Amino acid sequence: MAERTPLLSQADSAESGSTQAPEKHLPSLDSSIERCIGDFGWGQFLQAVLVSIAWTFDAQQTFISVFTDAQPTWHCTQLQDESCNSVSNICHLSKNSWAWDWPVDSSIVSAWELECAASFVTGLAASSFFMGCLLGGLVLSTLADTLLGRKNMLFLSCLMMSLSSLLTIFCTNIWIYSALRFVCGFFRSTIGTCALVLTTELVGRRWRGQVGIIGFFCFTIGFLSLPAIAYMNRGSPWSSLYLWTSIPALFYSILVRLFVHESPRWLLARGREDEAMATLKSIASPNHSSSSIWNFSGVPFEQKTSNTSLYSAIKILLEKRWALRRLSAVMGIGFGVGLVYYGMPLGLGNLAFNLYLSVTLNALSEIPSSLLTFLLIGKLNRRTSVLFFTLLSGVCSIMCVFKGKLWKRLQIGLELASFFSACTAFNILLIFTIEMFPTCVRNSAMSMVRQALVLGGVFCPMLIAAGRGNGLSSYGVFGLVIGSCGLLAACLPETRGRALCDTMEEEEARKG
């Protein structure tokens, strides 16, 4: 979800321009490109599908540790030993009194004897991945707009993510494994953003929301494919899961390099008009092949790009008290949502339910969450909705802590309700953020909210590891944090039905 909210791309398209509108007698870049290639054709559709496939491998690497780092099940080997039973702590049992149900190398926990290690150690690999995402989002965020462009950034990200994932199969200890997971997360951080921007910049304005949906389905397919691959490889070494996910991603990287076109908008903005013309002609529909329309003279390319970088935009946000207050609130909410969004799937191994089925149900729950937001966003009050769904997620998460035969049967339902509510809250939160901040800093504010979501992901693996013996340490903390962070929405202004502002001054005037 973090970096994978394509249903928002339609809203994003409303703020894709800069704060300076072109003069009325000059054609806009949007209208000039659409005049050349049309709104949407087969060439654009194929490009959108090819680019959106990147979301599939993004989802796989995000949630792969649910299976590779899982705590394996075990059984007692000496039936006459009364100290050994299903609720015993294996760290307090002798080595010859119990054994793993599956081969030792089926999980890194059993392979490297981490069953009695501190929660910091067992959760280090997953936390390292999210730390890499956090740092990569800050370091690589501007390269797609400046030096590399959308296509090259997507190619580099997919290539390095797949290579680091492939190298993971040779790891012999948790420290090297965690380092490679950090590298994987670092380069994975820009895949969602690059794929979404590239697909929406290849089509006309009217179709941007629809092509964004392609990315959403690809992410869901990637999430759903993990339990299927893991189930087919159950009993195999944990490294086989990395092998089966990294090899296809590596081949996909080559396809991106060979067949994906660079964004014509980026090429025009960088002054590479000949390359932009070649790209537009290659994806144009036959009825737009007339040479008379291939004329970009007088189009103000420089006016269609913002000169405000992420870092200068953050400075602007920090200088205004009202903007800082809003940014702090939405980032706080994002942190709480991220803790639940990433923590719930990672913690499924702690529930008394089939791991493969529970991961599948979690992946499927993203579909109604996004559809609900897409269909009802015009009728929902933003502030009230964020409050409601974060509190509902918190309550359901806390209820997962309770023990007993009845509660064990209800746990998976409560976990799904919490996960669904967190997904919906974040979808609405991003739309809320778009509407709260003016165009000149909107993308930067969105980036900061996404980074807050990833920051929540940094902490959840260690909480999950601690919760293997005590659910209060994981699900209880998840519920309290998202519920408390959700209350920050009460400090934010309602934005439903408001027109978008372009400048800080315009937003201040409306606020006043």
User: Which CA distances in Å does 320 have to 239, 314, 328, 439, 450?
Assistant: 50, 10, 12, 15, 21
* Token pair for 146: 């400046």
pLDDT at residue 451, rounded to an integer: 85
Residues whose CB falls within 8 Å of the CB of residue 115, separated by 6 or more in sequence, listed in order: 71, 90, 91, 109
Identify which of 167, 163, 161, 162 has the alpha carbon closest to the alpha carbon of residue 136.
161
In three-state secondary structure terms, 361 is helix
Residue 220 has pLDDT above 50, yes or no: yes
For residue range 1-32, list pLDDT tens digits in order.
545 443 343 444 444 444 444 444 444 555 55
Structure tokens at 47: 């490009």
Q: Average pLDDT, whole number, for the chain?
A: 78
| Cα–Cα dist 394/381, whole Å | 20
Q: Are 268 and 301 in contact (CB under 8 A)?
A: yes
CA distance 299 to 228: 50
Q: Which structural domains are found in the chain, ordered by start?
A: 29-71+107-284 (1.20.1250.20), 309-511 (1.20.1250.20)
The least confident of 11-25, 185-199, 440-454 is 11-25
Whats the size of the chain, residue-wise?
512
Q: Is 378's pLDDT higher than 90?
A: no
Q: Which two tokens stand for residue 200?
A: 């929406």
**Bridge partners, residue 99, by sequence:** 75
Which residues are registered as beta bridge partners of 76? 98
Query: Among all chains, which residue has been given the structure tokens 């929660």?
Result: 119
DSSP letter (8 states) at residue 190: T
Task: Pick the more confident residue, 138 or 357.
Answer: 357
H, E, C per residue of 84-102 = CCCCCCHHHCCHHHEEECC
DSSP3 helix / strand / coil % (the chain, rounded to 5): 70, 0, 25
Give yes or no for a contact between 377 and 466, defined as CB atoms under 8 angstroms apart. Answer: no
DSSP strands (E only) in 170-289: none
- The structure's pTM equals 0.78
